[in-house]
Each structure stands twice: as C-alpha cells, then as structure tokens.
Structure 1
Amino acid sequence: MIIDKIVEPYFGENIYILIDEETKKCAVIDPGGASEKVLNYIKKNSLDLEYILLTHGHGDHIGAVNYIKSKTNATIVAHSDEKELLNDNRKNLSYSMHCGPQELDADIYVNDKDKLELGNLKLSFIHTPGHTKGSMCIRVNDDMFTGDTLFAGSIGRTDFYSGDYKQIEKSLKKLSKFEDKVKIHPGHGPSSTLGIEKMSNPYM
C-alpha cells in the first residue's frame, strides 16, 4: 500500500492518493483542487483510478471532483448524510472559493461501518459528524484519513452549515477508542497518530 499527498495551494488542503501496489488500483481522497497534478500523478504511475472518496463536502475538499470524474469516470463515494451539502454550492461554500460553485452527487452513499474494497485493500468508513453532518473518516489497515474532524493538535471548526460542536465531541470520543498506533492523515496539516493526539490534543 502507498499513500501519497498533494497539497492544494489555496487552502493548504491535503489531497491523498491511496494505492494498492499489487493491482495498481487507486483512490483519490478529497480532491479540492490541483486536478492536473492529480491526473498527471495517476498517468505517470500507470494507475487505475477507481474511487473519489470524500471525507466531507466543503468546497476546499470537492473543488476538483467534477473535473476528475469527467476525465476518469471514477466512482464518487460520500456519507449519506452529506448529500444536502454536496448538492448546494452555498451550503458547501464553494460559491465563494477559487474553484467556483460546485454541486455533485455521490455514486455511492455509505453509512457508518460500511466497507469497500480497493484492489486488495479493505476500507472501512467511520461516521464522525460535527465539522459537517456527514463527515466521515476512512480507515485502511493502520491508517485513517480524518478529513476536517481531527487535525494534529486541533479539530475542524463547527460554525459552518450543519456543523455541531457537541457532535464533534462525540465523534472525537469515538475515535479515541481506536488503537494508539493508528496513523491519522488529516484534511489540513501534518500527519500524526491517535496515540499522540490522545496525549497532547486538548480536544481529545
């Protein structure tokens, strides 16, 4: 398994490319921009883009989804509670961002504990509302993509549409039950581990 990262220049948003080395199947997680960089990476490494996975529906995480979908026909996956946000460019804030108004529907809407296979990799989805109603984390082996739910040393804000501080508190409690060794890959900033965050993140 390979995890690579491309940082979107406007909001410093992390776009992850998750690769099953054996089958060359890959997924792009939260493509908020840098669409040509993502597509060039996939082409250069002879990868087969199977999924576009969304931890949540804010514009800085979905800005390049429609374009990448049009070029690859990859399957878009999001949490079922995020449909409203994805469908409305004002609620997802993209109307005021460099990417321009973005509205889309996922091809697959998942729920808590649902699973998905990417080549030989097994992905599981963890519903973590709070930053948005349909925020989710994606776990594969001992790696977890936490979107804007959990950052190294911080958490995502809850004052946007469908955000809820009490919900994010519950979600953080849920994440704290996972093993310390799990490496987290957040939507912004550096990676960390759940063990480090449990010890040092004041919100955990």
Structure 2
Amino acid sequence: MEYQRFVLGDLRVNSFLVWSGREAGIIDPGEPAGELLAALEKRDLQLKWIVNTHGHADHIGGNAQLQAATGAPIWIHKEDRPMLTSAEANLSAWLGAPIISPDAAGTLQDGDTLKLGEERLTIIETPGHTPGGISLYFPGLLFSGDALFRESIGRTDFPGGSASKLIQVIKERLFQLPPSTLVWPGHETSTTIEHEIRFNPYFQ
C-alpha cells in the first residue's frame, strides 16, 4: 500500500491518497480537491472510493468535487452519514461557508474492509470526536481521523462528542495495535502507537 498526504483547506486537514497497483482511494478529502485530482491523473490511478473518517466539514469538503470528476462512491459510518448533507450538523454553517456533500453510497462499520488491488484497509470504529468516527488500518499504518493525535486526542466539545468514549476506544482498540504502527491523524504530524502509549498525557 502506497500513500501521499495533502494538507488542504483553511483548517489544514490531512487528506490522503492511497493506492495499490492502479486502484486508489481517498481518505478525508479537503477543499479544494484539485491537488488530489491532479495526483490521480499524474499517477494514472482509478479512484475506487472516497472515505470520510467522520462528518465534519473540513474532512468532507472535497467530496462533491471528487465525485463529480470521478464518479467514485462515498463511504462513512452510519452515525455520521446525516452530517454529509447538513451544513448545521457538519459545522460548516458556523463558519459562514456551508458545505453540502453528496450522500454516501453506503455505510461502514467495525471490521469492514476496503479493497485496493490485492490489499485491504480495515475499519476500526473510534467514536468520541463524533458519534460515527472511524479509523482505517493497514498493517503498520493507521489513519486515525480526529481520534488520536500526537500527544493529544480529538476535541469532544462538539455536538455528539464524548471524551470518556474516545479515551476508552483508543485504549481498547488503537493501543492494541503493534507499537511500531505509524499513525497519521486528521491534522498535523504523524506519530506511532508506542509514542502515544508512552507520552500522550491523556493516558498517563
């Protein structure tokens, strides 16, 4: 599995192009999505799916542009699906620039897999930042959305947030992954599971 990170939008969301062979997926497309489309064309990749780790506006802003250009289906957890089509629910209304995404083709839940070529990413439910937060795991690599950050966790003061739930799921699910697993969160820099177990102040 190969990947490339793009930092997009005013809130500098980490958007990821992942691929195996000529099949590609995009995780959390920020707006505008032109850089993602250019990378697909440059690498001669076919976009098979778009996944949102949760429904906040900065992580879904590029959905419409990408789907219009490629026809790729959008996937999200069922609890966050309503956020795609509601500027109030995805918080973009508060920012004065409403974002409405096309609806999802379907929903994802814990244990589901997304295929690219002969490789697969596994869905891990990581609610707490939002009710339907998910992370995507490939051996040695975790895309954690806004659940786990370097020495921090996602905000839980938005509607539907739960600090206790987020801390619990990180301890019970993410911290059980191999310590060397590279973690790419939805914003800022990468970390590892080992580093977070040792130094994240929320778990000391």
Contact 2:145/2:185 (8 A) holds in 1: yes
| Structure 1 residues 70 and 18: CA distance shift in structure 2, 3 A | same
Q: Secondary structure at the match of 1:184?
A: strand
- State whether structure 2 residue 12 is matched by structure 1 residue 17: no
- Please show how residues 134-153 of structure 1 align to structure 2 within 5 Å: 134-153=132-151
Partner of 1:155: 153
Query: In the alignment, which residue of structure 1 is the partner of 2:70?
Result: 72
Q: Which runs of structure 2 are paired with 1:110-121 in the superposition (5 Å)?
A: 110-121=108-119
State the identity as a percent.
33
The Cα shift of 1:26 comes to 0.7
Match of 1:178 in 2: 177
1:78-117 equivalences in 2 (<5 Å): 78-97=76-95, 100-117=98-115
User: What residue ranges of structure 1 are gaps of 5+ in the alignment?
Assistant: none
Deviates most, 125-134 or 92-101: 92-101
The CA distance in 2 between the partners of 1:77 and 1:141, in whole Å, is 21
Q: Deviations over 1:152-183 (max 9, x none)?
A: 11111001111111111111112111110111
CA–CA distance in 1 between the matches of 2:198 and 2:36? 34
Give 1:9 shift. Answer: 3.9
Go from structure 1 to structure 2 and tell me whether the alpha carbon gap of 1:101 and 1:34 turns closer, same or farther (over 3 Å shift).
closer
CA displacement 1:35-63 (0-9 Å, x = unmatched): 11110111111111111011101001001
Deviates more, 1:180-189 or 1:161-170: 161-170
CA root-mean-square deviation: 1.4
Asked if 1:189 is matched to 2:188, the reply is yes
Distance in 1 between residues matched to 2:41 and 2:96, nearest whole Å = 25
> Secondary structure, in 3 states, of the residue corresponding to 1:102?
coil
Q: Map 1:115-134 to 2 at 5 A.
A: 115-134=113-132
Give the conservation status (yes or no) of the 8 Å contact 1:59–1:97: no
User: Structure 2 counterpart of 1:96, which letter?
Assistant: W
Q: CA deviation at 1:99?
A: 5.5
Give the number of aligned pairs. 202
Provide TM-score, normalisation by structure 2.
0.94
Distance 1:195 1:177 in 2: 10
* Contact in 2 for aligned 1:63/1:99 (Cα 8 Å): no
Secondary structure of the structure 1 residue equivalent to 2:79: helix
How far apart are residue 100 of structure 1 and its match? 3.0
